[in-house]
Amino acid sequence: MNYLRASMTVEEAVAHFSPDRNEVQEVYSETDEFIGYLTVEAIAHAIHCGELTRPIREFVVPEVSLPDQERQASSQAQLHAFFQSPTCQIVFNALYDGVYITDGAGITLFINQAYQRITGISEQEVIGVHMGNLIKQGIISVSASLETIRTKRPATLIQTIRNSRKIIVSATPVLSAANEILYIISSVRDITELIRLKHELDSQKLLRSDLPQADQTGLENVVLGTATRSLFRLADKVAKTDAKVLLQGETGAGKSMIAKYIHARSARSSEIFMELNCAAIPGHLVEAELFGYEPGSFTGALKQGKIGILESAHRGTLFLDEIGDLPLELQVKLLKVVEENQFMRVGSTEMRHVDVRIITATHRDLATLVRQGLFREDLYYRLNIVTFEVPPLRQRREEIVPLLETYLEKFNEKYNEQKKMTLECYEWLTNYDWPGNIRELANLVERLVVTTYHDTIDVGDLPGFLQQVLPRREPTSLREAVARLERMMIAEALQNHKTTRAAAEALEISQSALVQKMKKLQMRVENES
Ligand SMILES: Nc1ncnc2c1ncn2[C@@H]1O[C@H](COP(=O)(O)OP(=O)(O)OP(=O)(O)O)[C@@H](O)[C@H]1O
């Protein structure tokens, strides 16, 4: 029997319990006075309650029956002998997956050869060592066994080995008839390779160049997820007609791209595609820009007058971006173009005829603008024969990795670089909300390619706001603000507690409520136990 000091913390005492020692130890005060016994159950209970820093004097019992001590010692010795036995070694070493076995207090009893192959960790480093110490030494990032000791339930989590390799660990407790944990068996699988394969598969699934005539339309680098693919399929269908198309969606989500594709696949493809962003120029100039003007029709006008974009687009396609920002007085003039193909230049009384296909886009909700009296209802219905709802990037996260790869390739070529991104970086960026959508993603990749000094772009190279995985812009509604706060608290709890179960406990909600909330907030549910 060993002797322990009463002032020792639970954490310090744990190291004194190991498989080849007696599982009951005497505890003495600083003045060598016998205080009582510390049993392995008491230690396990203290760990379970998170009392690692408390002195063990709080957990001693005055007496333990000798038969109990002997029984424990002998069952422990039997267990230890079993793990050392050739049969056990042969069986566990035959497995392709790693196996890690601890006792009920979290002290390592056994690791198989596959575990050593996957992690590079040797028996000498871990046998007889408490899982808490392995975390402290930075050998593993988190412990599924400790999680299982805490909850007495199976736990699965992703563990980082010495800060690089990622493995998935599933721990299962073996319980005694009295519901005490006897030992914990964990199976271990390397997922670094799996993540890479998944990314490769995602990229292959999202074909980048199978749009018809992609090379001729300059759209050979389009990434097609499920949602985008059906949008482009619809675009292909409406391209054959002159039906008015309204594209709705957030800025940078790909509306212009679809407009260009419709033009490229239409009978007008050999004619011009003209684009006017109604929000980019002051209201009073939009009319002159759109319809053109006669010589000397207003101060600052060109002497010889100017042909408007509408007229320039004759026989081709006119794409009016941010149509929601078109001033009301111009909306009536646009209605005439839409209904009768007629318009007048500024300063002219002559009605002109034009043949254009009009495609419009907006990031605003036009139906709401109509209700608010800011957009003409008749024009709305005229423009809105076919509506495309282009989803924001955060609602098609499966496209993020292929987009990152596409743009990495593009900017590597442009700047003659050979940059790569770490898997962590891909994971991180997949979790980000991308308020500026694909445009923001492309800009970020270009910035990273240009500004990083090394060939591998890692999480540390990301701008600060992205490292917190928080969108930059201010919330525009109470609902958005609440969602932001929820997302932040959940991310923090997950970072601190590693599994959804532990995070849910810390947040004082059920695990299923947490998982549901995460799905609603489009957060990745990774460490589910
Ligand atoms: N599916 C896609 N695959 C690859 N790149 C894309 C895709 N969709 C859009 N992009 C790229 O993202 C950028 C932004 O797209 P686009 O200009 O079409 O967005 P938008 O919705 O029209 O934005 P805004 O309303 O601000 O004009 C462009 O550089 C475009 O080439």
Each residue's pLDDT tens digit, 33-49: 778 888 877 887 887 77
**Do 222 and 214 touch, CB atoms closer than 8 A?**
yes
Distance from the alpha carbon of residue 523 to the mean position of ligand 1, in angstroms = 23
Pocket test for ligand 1, best of 208, 223, 226, 256 (most atoms within 8 A of CB): 256
398: tokens are: 């499966």
Check pocket membership of 222 for ligand 1, CB cut-off 6 A.
yes
Q: Any idea which fold 226-393 has?
A: Rossmann fold (3.40.50)
Distance from the alpha carbon of residue 499 to the mean position of ligand 1, in angstroms = 36
What is the pLDDT at residue 91? 87
Indicate the average pLDDT of the chain: 82
Q: Ligand 1, closest atom to CA 249?
A: 21
Pocket test for ligand 1, best of 277, 438, 443 (most atoms within 8 A of CB): 438
- Burial class for 299, CB neighbours closer than 10 Å (0-12, 13-18, 19+): exposed
Note the CATH architecture for domain 3-69: Roll (3.10)
Distance from the alpha carbon of residue 258 to the mean position of ligand 1, in angstroms = 8
Contacts 24+ apart (CB under 8 A), 466-470: 466/428, 466/429, 466/432, 467/428, 469/428, 469/431, 469/432, 469/433
**Do 381 and 366 touch, CB atoms closer than 8 A?**
no
Q: Ligand 1, closest atom to CA 208?
A: 3
Check pocket membership of 512 for ligand 1, CB cut-off 6 A.
no
Query: Is pLDDT of 476 > 80?
Result: no
Backbone phi, then psi, for 140, in 5-degree steps? -125, 155
Check pocket membership of 221 for ligand 1, CB cut-off 6 A.
yes
Each residue's pLDDT tens digit, 173-211: 988 777 788 889 999 987 776 666 666 666 555 555 456
Nearest residue to 99 (alpha-carbon basis) of 33, 167, 149: 167
What is the pLDDT at residue 444? 96
Mean pLDDT, range 415-437, rounded to an integer:
86
pLDDT higher at 167 or 519: 167
What is the pLDDT at residue 213? 59
Atom 28, ligand 1: which residue's CA is nearest? 439
Q: Ligand 1, closest atom to CA 260?
A: 18
Mean pLDDT, range 253-261, rounded to an integer:
93
What is the pLDDT at residue 254? 93
19: tokens are: 């498989």
**CATH fold match for the domains 3-69 and 226-393:** no
Check pocket membership of 228 for ligand 1, CB cut-off 6 A.
yes
What is the pLDDT at residue 318? 95
Mean pLDDT, range 273-294, rounded to an integer:
88
Each residue's pLDDT tens digit, 379-411: 999 998 899 999 999 988 888 888 898 899 999
Strand partners, 102: 108, 184
Distance from the alpha carbon of residue 316 to the mean position of ligand 1, in angstroms = 21
Distance from the alpha carbon of residue 253 to the mean position of ligand 1, in angstroms = 5
Q: What residue segments make up the domains of the chain, in order of their start?
A: 3-69, 85-190, 226-393, 478-520
Atom 29, ligand 1: which residue's CA is nearest? 439
Q: Ligand 1, closest atom to CA 441?
A: 12
Distance from the alpha carbon of residue 276 to the mean position of ligand 1, in angstroms = 16
Distance from the alpha carbon of residue 251 to the mean position of ligand 1, in angstroms = 8
Query: Is pLDDT of 14 > 50?
Result: yes
* Banded pLDDT at 471 (limits 50, 70, 90): very low
Atom 10, ligand 1: which residue's CA is nearest? 254
Q: Ligand 1, closest atom to CA 222?
A: 3
**Do 389 and 230 touch, CB atoms closer than 8 A?**
no
Query: Is pLDDT of 259 > 90?
Result: yes
Each residue's pLDDT tens digit, 311-365: 999 999 999 999 999 999 899 999 999 999 999 988 888 899 999 999 999 999 9
Looking at 83-97, 325-339, 483-497, which range is the least confident one? 483-497
What is the pLDDT at residue 415? 95
Query: Is pLDDT of 527 > 50?
Result: no
AA identity, residue 326: L
What is the pLDDT at residue 69? 54
Check pocket membership of 260 for ligand 1, CB cut-off 6 A.
no
Q: Any idea which fold 85-190 has?
A: Beta-Lactamase (3.30.450)
CA distance 65 to 24: 10
What is the pLDDT at residue 354? 93
Mean pLDDT, range 60-71, rounded to an integer:
67
Check pocket membership of 254 for ligand 1, CB cut-off 6 A.
yes
Check pocket membership of 225 for ligand 1, CB cut-off 6 A.
no
Check pocket membership of 257 for ligand 1, CB cut-off 6 A.
yes
